Amino acid sequence: MKVRAAHEGDLDTILAIRNHAIEHGTALWTDTPQTRDEGAAWLGAHLGRGSAYVAEDTGDGTVVGFGVYGPWKDYSGFRHTVENSVYVAEGHHGRGIGSALLGTLVASASATGLHVMIAGIEAGNGASVRLHERHGFEHAGTVREVGTKFGRWLDLTLMRRQLD
């Protein structure tokens, strides 16, 4: 497996991974799968910033995960803070893919002079919390019942890592 910069040709695979997470999990707090046009706009913004990466299986070239970072908030005072997202394709968990992607995101954001990276994680997702801890993120707090999906309230754990 290798991590490389994403490109427009990765859209369909990234969109499939995102939509699977939307339809089957609580990592993305929306009930509506992304259309191809919405996905293209979302990916295009990340490509324009140089903040999108994919994990590619070196055996067959299949994209098995992706990671991005982007603005945490739109206000200028937050311009040095970004939020990350890392997703691994179903059936490929536990192979170090998420770790390789997150490491690349941290290195990339650091190289561009950003100051802090935030992770917003559904509080019950212990695997994601542990992944972020292994990469130097610290628990910044948990906000109770701020989201809902599948008929239940969800808590949001915020984690942060200083980059510089």
Owner of token pair 């490491």:
103
What is the Cα–Cα distance from 144 to 72, expressed in whole angstroms? 20
Residues of the chain with pLDDT under 70: none
Residue 23's Cβ-count burial label (10 Å; 0-12, 13-18, 19+) is exposed
pLDDT digits (tens, 9 = 90+) for 121-143: 999 999 999 999 999 999 999 99
| Helix (H), strand (E) at residue 15 | helix 11-24
Q: What is the pLDDT of residue 164?
A: 82
DSSP collapsed to 3 states, 67-122: EEEEECCCCHHHCCEEEEEEEECCCCCCCCHHHHHHHHHHHHHHHCCCCEEEEEEE
Burial of residue 82 (CB within 10 Å: 0-12, 13-18, 19+) is buried
Max intra-chain CA distance, the chain? 44
pLDDT more than 90, % of the chain: 99
